């Protein structure tokens, strides 16, 4: 049997009783980095064989895990923090398990998405988790364009060194919207920042961030506006006239020269 086990995102006391029990009973624990996993195991007195499972060796590591399972071993898979597969390795292994018809389950627990939503003050009835943005600008722009008109709250992960760049990309894609950044969730220096995408405040960038952005309006509703109002809407959000016209033309499916 294979167990994906959620682990704390900062506060080791957030580990669940069931999670500790499963790790204690496993023959092998597959982890991204032993330096992150060992403090947790030491906290709960767990001593097990550790193997590496990360995005750089997913294929080879998955094959080894499959062999262990077929040999009758119980394997637990953890990420450095939070729930496996949520912006962490594991998807390749799930496909392999399904292909081999091997049993697996999840021991639920901590993740950064839901606590950040709870603290955000934005709508929580519908949300879309995007995770980390792609490095390439073309890929990033294409990805964000697909979420532009969704009315749901958008949730992003962000490393500290990418914070200003990420907010600038979000502003370029969505215009000026309400946003919230939460850092160091569950830790001593947990902090919440509220701002708009056009006026990102000066903040201490140390720590891991979750950025949440309010949802947009449907393109159908926007296209029903008079053209002048449609363009004025984006001008009010801080876009240049050319950027606003380009965006309106794209949403209405007409050439820029017609506006």
Domains of the chain listed by start with CATH number: 2-107 (3.40.1010.10), 113-216 (3.30.950.10), 220-258 (no CATH)
CA distance 163 to 200: 10
Pair 245, 256: CB distance under 8 Å: yes
Phi-psi region at 227: left, alpha or beta (left = phi > 0; alpha = psi -120 to 50)? alpha
Listing DSSP states for 85-139 in one string gives TSSSS-HHHHHHHHHHT--EEEE----SHHHHHHHH-S--SSEEEEESPPSSHHH
Pair 208, 218: CB distance under 8 Å: no
Question: ∠ CA(88), CA(98), CA(134), 5° rounding?
Answer: 30
Q: What pLDDT is recorded for position 231?
A: 86
* E strands, the chain, in order: 2-5, 28-31, 49-52, 75-77, 104-107, 127-131, 153-158, 178-183, 191-196, 209-213
Written as tens digits, the pLDDT of the chain (259 aa) is 999 999 999 999 999 999 999 999 999 999 999 999 999 999 999 999 999 999 899 999 999 999 999 999 999 999 999 999 999 999 999 999 999 999 999 999 999 999 999 999 999 999 999 999 999 999 999 999 989 888 899 999 999 999 999 999 999 999 999 999 999 999 999 999 999 999 988 888 888 999 999 998 755 567 778 888 888 888 877 788 888 888 888 888 888 878 8
């Amino acid at each position: 049997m294979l167990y994906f086990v959620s682990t704390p995102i900062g506060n080791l006391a957030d580990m669940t009783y069931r999670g500790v029990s499963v790790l204690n009973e496993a023959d092998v624990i597959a982890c991204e980095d032993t330096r992150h996993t060992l403090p947790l195991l030491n906290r709960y007195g767990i001593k097990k064989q550790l193997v590496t499972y990360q995005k750089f060796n997913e294929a080879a590591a998955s094959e080894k895990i499959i062999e262990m399972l077929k040999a009758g071993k119980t394997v637990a898979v953890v990420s450095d923090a939070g729930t496996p597969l949520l912006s962490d390795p594991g998807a390749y292994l799930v496909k392999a398990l399904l292909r081999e018809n091997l049993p697996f389950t999840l021991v639920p627990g901590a993740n950064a998405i839901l606590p950040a939503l709870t603290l955000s003050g934005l709508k929580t009835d519908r949300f879309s988790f995007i995770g980390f943005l792609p490095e390439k600008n073309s890929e990033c722009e294409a990805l964000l364009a697909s979420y532009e008109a969704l009315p749901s709250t958008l949730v992003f992960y962000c490393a500290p060194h990418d914070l200003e760049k990420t907010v600038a990309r979000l502003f370029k894609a969505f215009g000026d919207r309400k946003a919230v950044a939460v850092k160091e969730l569950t830790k001593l220096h947990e902090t919440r920042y509220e701002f708009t995408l056009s006026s990102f405040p000066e903040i201490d960038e140390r720590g891991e961030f979750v950025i949440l952005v309010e949802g947009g309006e449907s393109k159908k509703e926007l296209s029903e506006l008079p053209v002048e109002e449609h363009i004025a809407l984006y001008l009010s959000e801080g876009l240049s006239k050319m950027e606003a016209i380009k965006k309106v033309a794209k949403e209405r499916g007409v050439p820029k020269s017609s506006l």
